[in-house]
Chain A
Amino acid sequence: MQIAVIGTGYVGLVTGTCFAESGNKVICYDVDESKIQALENGNIPIYEPGLSELVLRNASAGRLRFSTDMAESVKDAEIVFIAVGTPQADDGSADLSYLFAAVENMASHLTEDAIVVTKSTVPVGTNAKIFAKLRDWTGRDCNVASNPEFLKEGAAINDFMFPDRVVVGVRQSEVGDVLRRLYSTFLRTDKPFLVMSPESAEMTKYVANAMLATKISFINEMANVCGCVGADINDVRKGIGHDQRIGFAFLFPGVGYGGSCFPKDVRAMMRMAEHQNVDPQILRAVDEVNLRQKTILLSSIEKHFNGQLAGKRVAIWGLAFKPRTDDVREAPSLNLIDALKERDVHISVHDPVAMENVQQLYGDDLEYALSPQDALDHADALVIMTEWGEFRHPDLSEMAQRMASPVVFDGRNLYEAAQMKKAGFVYYSIGRPKVMPD
């Protein structure tokens, strides 16, 4: 099939590349000329394992092209995917201005049979609005569909090619059939292709993210209470995870969720509910708990140093909002850095891939270490903010030697209490008892 993908952000690039990989002819469009230029030169603007290789292969095979020309991109397309950003507006709702601008630009170039599919995460009712606007601009009823994307950054290619399910929202079953054919290459096992109304499909995306965010905030609150009553959240987590109705996934306590989806989607859903006079009690609690959780380590750090933080040296391991991504949007590490800077702390950081993004925000205010151990020299404390695999088995004796004092604040519960005790560390983690050295 001939496909156009509008927007070359995370979702757009992965969508376009994966459809090219399954044999379709794809043009990825973006208004940003420098971005398109870079892509044509084989420079992928985001970090995603496997993506770069796939882009190059499909581009050189002629199945994947990049363009800043809307007419050229859309005029032969049977399916046009909209994958532009829907950032958070000032009031927390989703800002749809990029989306509607894209729809307006494409309208006059669409073929009669083209299907306009929304991949971006959009509030319920957006699909109906796109349909109405396209009618205004083209004078005919265009085919529209909603097809929310569930990929995870860091595992995006695999998630796209082996989805747990594909959700499409359509008003005519024929439109659903075309999309089913398009996706059939990725659904060769028994994974379901779910056809529903655009409203239900739009809702599904928000609800999935909201439920995951709820699980995280739930376990974080549970961890905080564990800390108060002397229970160990890690045992509790195991105790409830074995319950098949609950499961282990997404029940790891930490320093709060971040990234470009959960915080934004939870808030957009809250605004949606408020507009409908539904009080989003649980969602509000989830959001507030998460904001508080982002500073949970700061309170332990302050307490440990009796509020005397000025002039201290703190090393931070992990900046990205989660491992295997360079994404630092809404990352808890940023909240911590801001708070420590305010208290005149000298900060050295290490992250395997996200340092560049952080440098863009903080410039020379931080020290950027090339390895985890290098970040530790003369540090009064180490704070772990992201659970990169390489932080899991460090050389504890080298760590203790390099640091001015062996104190670790572990926001991801990476280490065992006994191990840290033996190695002579003061060790704080989330929802587990504080450890003092032997």
Chain B
Amino acid sequence: MRISVIGTGYVGLVTGACLADSGHSVCCVDIDEAKIAKLNDGIIPIYEPGLEDLVERNTRENRLSFSSNVTEAIESGAILFIAVGTPPGPDGAADLSHVFNVVRTISATATSPKIIVTKSTVPIGTGEKIREILDTNGIRHEVVSNPEFLKEGAAISDFTNPDRIVIGTNSAQAMKTMKRLYQPIVDAAPSRRASVIEMDIASAEMTKYAANAMLATRISFMNELARLCGKVGADVKLVQNGIGLDPRIGQRFLNPGIGYGGSCFPKDVQAMIATGREHDSPFQILEAVHAVNERQKSVLVELITSYYGDDLSNHTFAVWGLAFKPNTDDMREAPSIVIIEALLSHGARIVAFDPVAQANAESIWGDRISYTNLNKDALKGADALLVLTEWKEFRVPNLARMKDELGAAVVFDGRNIYDPDVMRKAGFTYFSIGRPPVLADTDA
């Protein structure tokens, strides 16, 4: 099938590359000419394991091409994926101007019937609005909602080995075509569990928000609970295991931490809250989920200032991890931003390390903080280490060397990646989330 993907951000690139890899002929189009030029040179603007290889191979084998000519891409594709950004507007609702601009262009320029698929996360009712815009034109296009559930850092495997493929449309013909489009992926999915779930457009749009909202709810629930555990002397990690073994609950997405970030959860939760308000059906739980998350970002700072006092001007903190989660360079809404800004405002010096997000971090802080790597005395002279992202390489450090390099053996762990007993034995003062603090014997 001939497919055009409009928008070469995260979702667009992964969708295009993976559909090309399952044998379809795909053109990825973006109005940003510089971006397209880079892509044509094989330079991928985002960090995603496996994506570069996939793009390279499918470009070489002529199934994948890049273009900045939108009208041409619209004309050549039978299925048009819209994967442009939907950033939150000032009131938290998703800004759909990019989506509607694309639809207007399609309406104005397409000379044959298209299947128009929204991959971008769009508020419920957007499919209906798209149809209204299209209906001003004489050609009968079909509208489909096909939300994307990929996780940054595991995007390729999520796309090619999905838990489910959600397709919402009111057109039987479009449903048939979409199922044919995804058949190679369903057939080849290693899990053998991939299935297409058919529904109407509004339900498909809702499904995307509901999934992210549920995951965000699990995180904020555990974060709220972790605060209580810390106060009553319970250990949230044991509690987490105790409830996760209940199959009605499950172990996934129960890690307490310093709050969720990234380009999806915060935005989608806020958009859902806005949708609820708009329909006079306020989303009380999600409002609480959002409030708890905002608060959670300052938990580590509270621990730090109650340990050292408010004046941190004589303190240097080594920070491990800046990205909002491991295996990505994405810094959008990362808790590290809130935490580092707060520490800077208290006068602290920051020496930061992240395996891949440093370039993005530099564009945020420039030389207001310094950067290092794990091989160079990353901890030398720091008063404490802060763990903000649970990259695997942080999980089993050489504690003796760590203690040696640090000016004081103090660790603030925002991701609960170390065992308090191990830290105690190694002579550390160790703070984590929702677990009793380990206070090193100062005479030792």
Contact = CB atoms under 8 A, between A and B. Distances in A.
Interface of A: 124-125, 150, 164-165, 167, 191-192, 194, 196-197, 199-204, 207-208, 210-212, 214-215, 217-218, 221-222, 224-232, 235-236, 238-240, 242-247, 249-251, 269, 272-273, 276-278, 280-286, 288-289
B226 to A, nearest CB: 10
Given A203-B234, A212-B249, A229-B202, A282 B289 contact: yes
A226 B201 CA distance: 12
Given A229-B279, A235-B197, A197 B202 contact: no
Given A200-B234, A281-B292, A243 B163 contact: yes
B418 interface: no
B138 interface: no
A280 B195 CA distance: 39
B245 A192 contact: yes
11 contacts: A164-B247, A196-B242, A201-B242, A203-B225, A224-B281, A228-B281, A229-B279, A232-B200, A236-B199, A247-B248, A249-B250
Interface string B205-242: 11100110111011011001101110111110011011
Contact of B213 (A150, A222, A277, A282): A222
A238 B276 CA distance: 21
Contact of B199 (A199, A203, A235): A235
Contact of A242 (B197, B200, B205, B215): B197
B101 interface: no
B124 A239 contact: no
Nearest to A246: B214
Contact of B206 (A226, A250, A286): A226
A286 B289 CA distance: 11
B242 A282 contact: no
A284 B289 CA distance: 11
Given A229-B279, A272-B232, A285-B285, A240 B243 contact: no
Contact of B211 (A167, A229, A246): A246
Nearest to B199: A235
A269 B200 CA distance: 40
Contact of A239 (B210, B239, B272): B210
Nearest to A128: B233
Interface of B: 124-125, 149, 163-164, 166, 193, 195, 197, 199-200, 202-207, 210-211, 213-215, 217-218, 220-221, 224-225, 227-229, 231-235, 238-239, 241-243, 245-250, 252-253, 272, 275-276, 279-281, 283-289, 291-292
B221 A165 contact: no
Contacts of B229: 200, 203
Contacts of B206: 222, 225-226, 229, 231, 236
Contacts of A200: 229, 234-235, 238-239, 242
A225 B243 contact: no
A208 B166 contact: no
Given A231-B202, A289-B285, A199 B221 contact: no
Of listed A191, A211, A215, A273, residue having the most chain B CB within 10 A: A211
Contacts of A240: 207, 210-211, 214
B249 A208 contact: yes
A252 to B, nearest CB: 11
Contacts of A280: 224, 228
Given A242-B193, A246-B252, A288-B284, 6 more contacts: A192-B245, A200-B229, A218-B214, A218-B285, A222-B206, A242-B195
A202 B234 contact: yes
A128 B142 CA distance: 65
A211 B234 contact: no
Nearest to B123: A229
Contact of A204 (B193, B243, B279, B291): B243
A403 B297 CA distance: 57
A278 B275 CA distance: 29
Contacts of A224: 281
A196 to B, nearest CB: 4
Contacts of A276: 228, 231-232
A269 B401 CA distance: 42
